Structure 1
Amino acid sequence: MALAGCIGTTEEGEGSDDAYTIGMVDSLSGSLADFGERNQNAKELALEHINEIGVKDQDLEIIVEDSESTSQQGVSAAQKLVNQDNVPFVIGAVGSGVSMSIYESVIEGTGVVQLSQSSTGLDLTDQPDLLRMSPSGRTQSIALADIIAEDGYDEVAATYINDDFGVSLFDAFEEAYDGDIVYDSAHDGEGSSYSSLVSSMDGSGADAWLCITYQSEFATMVNDMYSGGYEPQLYGADSNRGDSVLEGTPEGSMDGMKLVEPAAPEDQDNYQEFAAAFEEEYGESPTAWSAFAYDCVVTAALSIQAADEFTGEALSEVVRDVTRPEGEEVFTYEEAHEILADDGTADDIDYQGVSGPIDFDENGDPRGSLVVMEVQDHDYASIEFRES
C-alpha cells in the first residue's frame, strides 16, 4: 500500500519534474505497527521542515510501502520501490530480520542506499552497506546483564523471539551476564498462547525473567503469566514496549518491569525543538524511535543535496560523510543546507541529529545512548540514562 510520493527516476542528477523521490518500508500493520505509526509522524514532520527550504530547489517526496512487520512482505515492498519506482535510497525497515531480508534479497549489489530507521539486531553490523540510525542491540544486551546483576539476581530464565533480532540479542546477553541462565528457550512469533513457555520459566526457579520479543507476543505472554499467577521480576528490550502492550494486558500485571532502549538527547536544543513541533502536530510526545525516523529523512535529504548525481552510487559516497565529525557541527537541516548550498561538500558538515550524534562507522552503525524504563502504575517511566 503506497501512502505518498511520485514515481522515481533513474535520470542522473534529477528527481521527478518537481521532487526527488525516495522510498520507505515501514511497519504500518502487524506486530511492530506501534513503531510504524511513530515513524510516519516523524517522517511527515521531517518532510515539512525539509520542503520549507528545498533540496536543490526541489521538494523531497517519499513513497511508503507496508512491510506488515514480516520479511516476506518487506521484500515485496522493497522490490516494488527499487524495481518499479526506481528509487536510489530506501529507508527501512523496522524489524532487524525484515531489514536483513530486504538487503540480501533486494538491495545488495544494486548500489541503492538502505538506511534502517529502527533495526537493532547485531547481525546488521556484518553488512557495512546496510546502514541504521538506531544503535546495535548489543548495547542493550550488555546493559540488561548489568542491570539484572545490579538488582541482585544471580539466576535468570530467558526467552527470545526465534529470529535474527532475538537470537543475536540473547547471544550477546549470554556472553555479558555473569550469573546463571537456568532456563532459555526460543519462541515463535504470533503465538495464540505461551502458557507452556511461561510455565517452564516458572519451573526453573528463577525470580528474574528476561523476555526478548515483540509487542504482540509479549502481551500474550504477560496475559499467560497473569492467568497462571506468576509474578516474576521482568526485564526486556526495546521491542517489548508499546501502547498496545499496555492496552492488551491487565492493570498491574507488569509493574516493576525494567526495559532498556535507545535514548534521544532530551536536553539538546534541537531535540527539544523537534519534540515541541511533534507534540503540537500530533498531540503526544515523540520517542527515540520517532527521532531516528526523523533523522533518516534528514540524512537522505542532505545526501541528495551533497551528491553530484541522484543515483544510489553517488548517494552512497556521501551518506556517511554528512554525519561525521570532520565537518562543522550543524543541528538542523536548515543549517546544513546553508553550507551545502554555498558550494559546501559532505565533508564540510557534521549533522548532529535530533537523536544525537550519528557518526556512522565503517560498519554502518551509529553512536548512541540508552534509557532504562520501568513500568509504574501500568505506564512507562524513565528512571536512568546510560551511555552505550
Structure 2
Amino acid sequence: LLQIGGIFPLTGVLAEFGEPSQKGAELAIKDLTEAGFQVEMTSRDSGSDPTESVTAASQLVSEKNAQVILTASGSETIPVAEQVTIPNQVLQISYAAVSPTVSVLPADDGHDLLFRTNVPGTAQGIVLAKTAIDKGYKKLAILYVDDALGQGTSQIFTDNFENWGGQVVAAVKHSTQVQTTYVDELTQAAVDGAEALIVISFPQHIIVFLQEAMAGQFFENFLFIMAQQTETVTNAMGSMLEGVCGTAPAVVFTDSLEKFNVRYQAEYGTLSSPIAGNAYDAVVVSTLAAYVVQAKSETLTPITIRDQLREVAGAPGERVESQIDELKRARELLQAGKPINYNGAYTDVDLDEKGDVSAPIDVWCIKNGQMVTENTFMPNNFEVVGQAGMFFDGTKDFVRSQESPLGNLVADVMLAGAKASDNTVAASFINAGSLRNSIGEGEVTHSELLMVLPLLEI
C-alpha cells in the first residue's frame, strides 16, 4: 500500500490554491482506487507557512510512514526538502513550486528526490524579459514577494532583461504576509525613470499594491509573472487592469485535459484549474511508479518509487491519459511488463534530469476586460543553441541609423540559408521585416533567434 502525505495551503495567503489542489489530489486517489491501485493519502494544512509545512511533513513521515510527500509553493517545498524529505530519503513532488531554485537545490544534489508536476518559473522570467524588450521598455522596476518564487524569478528576469540591453533600476521585495499598504515599497520602486513595474507576487498582495500604484500614480504600466492563471486579480480590479500584460503557463487542450475536466466537474460541480490538474498528476505518476516496483516484486520504498518515476511518464511507452478506464489499462499494461507513457491533465509529466516538466508559456494581456493570449512560446524556445561573443544591439534607434553587427549577422544568415538550397546565390533578402530584438552576450537561446524577426523564416 502506497502512503502519500499531501500538504495543501488551505489557509493563509495561498488559500485560494489550497482547496482545488487538495480536490485534485483526492480525485486522483479515488480514480486510482477504482482502477485497482492500492494507495492512501493523508492531508495536512500548511497554513501557507514554511514552518507549518515542515512540521506537517515531519508528522506525515514519522507518524504515517509517508513514502511520497506532496508540497505546494517553493517557499514551502524547499524547507520541507532540506529539513524533512531528503534527510529521511523520502520522495517529494511539488504541484505548485514555481521557484527556479527547486531545479538546482543543493540539498538534492546526488539524491534526486525532488520533483514537480508544474512548470518552473525560469521560462516565464525569460519570456517576460523578451516581452518587455519587444514592447520597447528600457528601464524597469521589480516588486517581488520575498520568497523562493520572487527571489529566483526576479533574478532570472533581471539577468535576461539586462543581457538584452535593458536596465532594472530597482528590485524591491515585500513580505509574504499581506500588508495593508505598500506605499513604501512602491516609492522605492518608482525611481530613475522606471517605465513600468514588473510584478512577481500572489493575488492577495497584488490586489492591494496595484490599486495603490495606480491611485498614487507610481506606475501606469505593469507586467506580471503569474504562478497560475487566476481570475482573482481581474475580478477585484476590473477595468483598471485594461492593457496589463504578463506571462503564465499555457493551458494546452489535449484529450487528457478534456477527460480530466469532465471528471473533475462531475465530481465537484466546478471547473478544474491547472493546480488541481498538477496535484492530480503528482498522485497518479507516483502511484504508477509504485505499481511498477510491486509488479517487479521489489521492495516498495521511496527510492525504488523514484527509480520508476520517469519510466512511467515518458517515451517510449503506450500513451495513457487521466481517466479511470485509462488508469485501469495502465495497470494491466504494467502488470504485463509493458512500458507506459502517462500524459497528465495539464502537462505531459515528462520529468527531465532536474525533476521538472515543461510546457508552453503564454504572453497574455487584458483586452476589453478579458485575458487574451498574445503569443505562446514553446519549450524548445529556451534551448541553448549557441554562444554570442558580444552584445548584438537590435534596438530601433541603433540598427536604423548605422551599419550594425546584428544587421550583418542577419544578412550572413540569410545568405547562408539561401546557399543551402542554391550555392550560386550571391545575395539574399528572405524577409523584409525589421530587426526587433537584441541578442545578448553569452548563451544564445532559440527564443532569442525567433525574436529577431528576419531570422524567423530561416
With structure 2 as the length reference, what TM-score do the two structures score? 0.74
Change (3 A) 1:292 1:240: closer
Query: Does structure 1 residue 133 correspond to structure 2 residue 127?
Result: no
- Corresponding residue to 1:316 among 289, 293, 306: 306
Partner residue in 2 for 1:201? 189
Displacement of 1:243 after TM fit? 4.2
- Corresponding residue to 1:148 among 119, 122, 132: 132
- Corresponding residue to 1:88 among 59, 67, 72: 67
Contact 2:138 2:195 in 1 (8 A): no
- Corresponding residue to 1:361 among 352, 355, 380: 352
Query: Does structure 1 residue 261 correspond to structure 2 residue 240?
Result: no
Describe the superposition over 1:95-143 as per-residue Cα deviations: whole angstroms up to 9, x where unpaired. Answer: 1021000000101132211000011111111134211111221100001
- Corresponding residue to 1:72 among 31, 51, 69: 51
Displacement of 1:160 after TM fit? 1.4
Q: Which runs of 5+ in 2 are unaligned?
A: 380-458
Coordinate RMSD, CA, aligned:
2.1
Partner residue in 1 for 2:439? none
Query: Which amino acid counterpart does residue 206 of structure 2 have in structure 1?
Result: F
Change (3 A) 1:77 1:243: farther
Displacement of 1:65 after TM fit? 0.7
- Corresponding residue to 2:286 among 269, 294, 300: 300
- Corresponding residue to 1:174 among 149, 154, 158: 158
Q: Which segment drifts farther, 148-157 or 234-243?
A: 234-243
Describe the superposition over 1:293-348 as per-residue Cα deviations: whole angstroms up to 9, x where unpaired. Answer: 1111111220121113332122122122211213333224233222112244xxx1
Displacement of 1:231 after TM fit? 5.0
- Matched residue SS, 1:118: coil
Hey, what's the Cα distance between the residues in 1 that align with 2:300 and 2:365?
A: 45
Hey, what's the Cα distance between the residues in 1 that align with 2:99 and 2:308?
A: 24
Change (3 A) 1:376 1:30: farther
Hey, what's the Cα distance between the residues in 2 that align with 1:282 and 1:240?
A: 20
Query: Does structure 1 residue 234 correspond to structure 2 residue 218?
Result: no
Hey, what's the Cα distance between the residues in 1 that align with 2:217 and 2:46?
A: 36
- Matched residue SS, 2:36: coil
Query: Does structure 1 residue 328 correspond to structure 2 residue 306?
Result: no
Query: Which amino acid counterpart does residue 258 of structure 1 have in structure 2?
Result: C
- Matched residue SS, 2:332: helix
Contact 1:215 1:239 in 2 (8 A): no
> Over alpha carbons, which structure has the higher Rg?
2
Q: Which has the higher contact order (CA 8 A, sep 6+)?
A: 1
Query: Which amino acid counterpart does residue 143 of structure 2 have in structure 1?
Result: T
Query: Which amino acid counterpart does residue 140 of structure 1 have in structure 2?
Result: Q
Partner residue in 2 for 1:289? 275
Displacement of 1:212 after TM fit? 0.8
Query: Does structure 1 residue 105 correspond to structure 2 residue 99?
Result: no
Partner residue in 2 for 1:39? 21
Hey, what's the Cα distance between the residues in 2 that align with 1:81 and 1:185?
A: 36
Change (3 A) 1:290 1:374: farther
Query: Which amino acid counterpart does residue 29 of structure 2 have in structure 1?
Result: L
Hey, what's the Cα distance between the residues in 2 that align with 1:386 and 1:140?
A: 10
Partner residue in 1 for 2:3? 21
Query: Which amino acid counterpart does residue 376 of structure 2 have in structure 1?
Result: F
Hey, what's the Cα distance between the residues in 1 that align with 2:266 and 2:370?
A: 22
- Corresponding residue to 1:274 among 253, 257, 260: 260
Q: Which segment drifts farther, 250-259 or 137-146?
A: 250-259
Hey, what's the Cα distance between the residues in 2 that align with 1:284 and 1:147?
A: 33
Query: Which amino acid counterpart does residue 253 of structure 1 have in structure 2?
Result: M
Partner residue in 2 for 1:12? none
Hey, what's the Cα distance between the residues in 1 that align with 2:94 and 2:216?
A: 38
Query: Which amino acid counterpart does residue 239 of structure 2 have in structure 1?
Result: G
Partner residue in 1 for 2:205? 217
Describe the superposition over 1:226-246 as per-residue Cα deviations: whole angstroms up to 9, x where unpaired. Answer: 432445221111238534434
Hey, what's the Cα distance between the residues in 1 that align with 2:159 and 2:252?
A: 29
With structure 1 as the length reference, what TM-score do the two structures score? 0.87
Hey, what's the Cα distance between the residues in 2 that align with 1:209 and 1:335?
A: 50
Change (3 A) 1:65 1:381: farther
Displacement of 1:218 after TM fit? 1.4
- Matched residue SS, 2:13: coil
Describe the superposition over 1:202-221 as per-residue Cα deviations: whole angstroms up to 9, x where unpaired. Answer: 34432321011122221221
- Matched residue SS, 1:110: coil
Query: Which amino acid counterpart does residue 280 of structure 2 have in structure 1?
Result: Y
Hey, what's the Cα distance between the residues in 2 that align with 1:120 and 1:265?
A: 18
- Matched residue SS, 2:22: helix
Hey, what's the Cα distance between the residues in 2 that align with 1:24 and 1:32?
A: 15
Number of equivalent positions: 361
Displacement of 1:188 after TM fit? 1.9
Hey, what's the Cα distance between the residues in 1 that align with 2:305 and 2:136?
A: 49
Change (3 A) 1:65 1:274: same
Q: Which segment drifts farther, 64-73 or 252-261?
A: 252-261
